[in-house]
A and B are shown apart, each in its own frame.
Chain A
Amino acid sequence: MILTAALVVPLLGALALALWPGWSRSAARAFAVVTTLVPLLLMVIAWSRFDTGGSMFQLVEEVDWVPSLGMGFRLGVDGIALAVAAMTALLFTGAAAYPVDTRGAARQYYAWILFLEMASLGVFLALDLLLFYVFFDLTLVGMYFLIGRWGHGEPQSAALKFFLYTLFGSLFLLLAILGLYLSADPLTFDMRELIQQQPLAGAGTFAGVVMAAFLLGFIIKTPLVPFHTWLPRAHVDAPAPASAILAGVLLKMGTYGLIRIPYSMMAETFAAWALPLGILALVSILYGALVALGQKDIKQRIAYTSINHMGYAVLGIAAAGALLDGSETARSMALIGATVEMVAHGLITGALFLIAGSFWQRGETYRLADYGGLSGRTPKLAGMTTVAAFASLGLPGLAGFVAEFHIFVGTFGVYPWLAAIGLLGILITAALFLRMLQSLFFGQLPERWNTMADLKTSEIAVLGVFMVLVVLIGVYPAFLLDIINTSARWLVGGG
Chain B
Amino acid sequence: MPVADLLPELVLLIGAAVIIVTAAFLPHRLHGLCALLATGVLVASAGLVVTGWSRPDHLTFAGVWALDGAARFAKLLIISSGVASAALSPHWMATDRRHGEYYGLLLFAVLGAIMMASAADTMELVVGVLLSSVTGYALVGYHRQWSPAQEAAMKYFLVGALANALLVIGVVLLFGLTGATGYTEMAGRLAENPDPWVVITALVLILIGLGFKLGASPAHMWMPDVAQGAPAPVAALVTVITKVGAAVALARLAAVLPEAIPWRWAIALMAVVTMTWGNLAALWQSNLRRLLGWSAISQSGYALVAIAVLGATEQALPALMVILTAYAIANLAAFSVVTHLRGRTELADYRGLAQQRPWAAAVLILALLSFLGLPPLVGFFGKLLVFGAAIDGGYTWLAVAAVINTVVSLFYYLRVIAPMVFGTPEDTSAQLGWPSAVTMVITGLMVVFLGLGIESLIGLARDGTLLLLR
Contacts and interface: CB of A to CB of B under 8 A. Distances in A.
Contacts of A182: 388, 391-392
Which of A159, A160, A163, A174 has the most chain B CB within a 10 Å cutoff? A174
B418 A175 contact: no
Contacts of B410: 163-164, 167
B368 to A, nearest CB: 12
B421 interface: yes
A133 B391 contact: no
A133 B383 CA distance: 13
Interface string A309-348: 0000000000000000000000000000000000000000
A465 B391 CA distance: 48
B391 A175 contact: yes
A66 interface: yes
Given A148-B422, A182-B391, A66 B454 contact: yes
Contacts of B422: 148-149, 155-156
B399 A175 contact: yes
Interface in B381-421: 381, 384, 387-388, 391-392, 396, 399-400, 403, 406-407, 410-411, 414, 418, 421
Contacts of A69: 458
Contact of A134 (B369, B376, B396, B459): B376
Contact of B375 (A137, A148, A160, A209): A137
A168 B410 CA distance: 10
B14 interface: no
A181 interface: yes
Contact of B414 (A134, A155, A163, A172): A163
B370 to A, nearest CB: 12
Nearest to A138: B375
A436 to B, nearest CB: 32
Contacts of B195: none
Contacts of B400: 175
B192 interface: no
Contacts of A67: 455
A248 B392 CA distance: 37
Contacts of B411: 160, 164
Contacts, number: 73
B462 interface: yes
B375 A68 contact: no
Contacts of A65: 455
A179 B380 CA distance: 17
Contact of B387 (A68, A141, A156, A178): A178
Contacts of A434: none
B418 A148 contact: yes
A50 interface: no
A109 interface: no
B198 interface: no
Interface in A113-155: 130, 133-134, 137-138, 141, 144-145, 148-149, 155
B191 interface: no
B374 interface: yes
Given A68-B462, A209-B396, A141 B407 contact: no
B322 to A, nearest CB: 11
A178 B462 contact: no
A160 B455 contact: no
The prevalent SS among residues of B at the interface is helix
A171 interface: yes
Range of interface residues on chain B? 20 to 34
A178 B384 contact: yes
A179 B407 CA distance: 19
B275 to A, nearest CB: 14
Contact of B369 (A141, A148, A156, A160): A141
A181 B387 CA distance: 12
Given A138-B375, A182-B391, A68 B414 contact: no
B458 A149 contact: no
Interface string A14-50: 0000000000000000000000000000000000000
Given A138-B375, A163-B410, A68 B418 contact: no
A160 B388 contact: no
A383 to B, nearest CB: 37
Interface string A465-489: 0000000000000000000000000
B376 A174 contact: no
A395 B421 CA distance: 44
Contacts of A68: 455, 458-459, 462
B387 A175 contact: yes
Nearest to A164: B410
A181 B388 contact: yes
A129 to B, nearest CB: 12
A66 B380 CA distance: 13
B280 to A, nearest CB: 15
A156 B459 CA distance: 41
B391 A174 contact: no
Contacts of A167: 406-407, 410
Which of B396, B406, B418 has the most chain A CB within a 10 Å cutoff? B418
Contacts of A148: 418, 421-422
Contacts of B384: 130, 174, 178
Contacts of A171: 403, 406-407
B306 to A, nearest CB: 14
Contacts of B403: 171-172, 174-175
Contact of A66 (B369, B387, B391, B458): B458
Nearest to B423: A156
Interface in B408-459: 410-411, 414, 418, 421-422, 454-455, 458-459
Nearest to B392: A182
Interface string A431-446: 0000000000000000
Nearest to A165: B407
A209 B380 CA distance: 23
Nearest to A133: B375
Contacts of A172: 403
Nearest to B458: A68
A178 B391 contact: yes
Contacts of A181: 388
Contacts of A144: 414
Given A141-B369, A141-B374, 10 more contacts: A134-B375, A134-B376, A137-B375, A138-B374, A148-B421, A159-B418, A160-B414, A167-B410, A171-B406, A174-B384
7 contacts: A66-B458, A68-B459, A137-B375, A138-B374, A138-B375, A164-B414, A181-B388
Interface of B: 369, 374-376, 380-381, 384, 387-388, 391-392, 396, 399-400, 403, 406-407, 410-411, 414, 418, 421-422, 454-455, 458-459, 462
Interface of A: 65-69, 130, 133-134, 137-138, 141, 144-145, 148-149, 155-156, 159-160, 163-164, 167-168, 171-172, 174-175, 178-179, 181-182, 209
Which 5 A-B residue pairs are closest in the complex by CB-CB distance? Answer: A134-B375, A171-B403, A168-B407, A66-B455, A178-B388
